[in-house]
Structure 1
Amino acid sequence: MSTPRTPRPRLDVVSLVLGLLMVVVAAAALWLTFVGPLDWGLLRTAAPLVLVAVGALGLVLTRR
């Protein structure tokens, strides 16, 4: 007799995306503390790219 499969737990995508954003905020705070001021020109380019990547990750994780 085969054992019944247990369903996979659902992934909480909102918590994952917010957690990733908080990791970015924490990394920026550590950078300011140990390295110095942020390069705002680079940040203006990188921030939208990171947000698009996090959004795409959220969309991929919600696909069935």
Structure 2
Amino acid sequence: MSTPRPTRGRLDVVSLVLGLLLVVVAGGALWLTFVGPLDWGLIGTAAPLVLVAVGALGLLLTRRR
């Protein structure tokens, strides 16, 4: 008698992307609380790059195999 293979659940990409963005927001809040003011010039440069990276990750994860 063979053992049934466990099925792999689908990845919820929307929840993953939203979760990653909220982790970034929470990290910014912690930085403000414990370290001090944020460098908005750096955030203005990094935010678009992070959003593009998260979007590319979302595209890669939703690609059909």
Give the TM-score of the pair, scaled to structure 2: 0.89
The equivalent of 2:48 in structure 1 is 48
Q: Which segments of 5 or more consecutive residues in structure 2 lack a partner in the other structure?
A: none
- C-alpha distance after superposition, 1:1-53 (max 9, x if no partner): 54443432100000000000000000000000011110010000000000001
Aligned-residue identity in percent? 86
For this pair of structures, how many residues does the alignment match?
64
- Deviation >4 Å, runs of 4+: none
Give the TM-score of the pair, scaled to structure 1: 0.90
Structure 2 counterpart SS, 1:38: coil
Q: Which segments of 5 or more consecutive residues in structure 1 lack a partner in the other structure?
A: none
Q: State the Cα RMSD in Å.
A: 1.2
Q: Matches of 1:24 and 1:15 in 2, distance apart?
A: 14
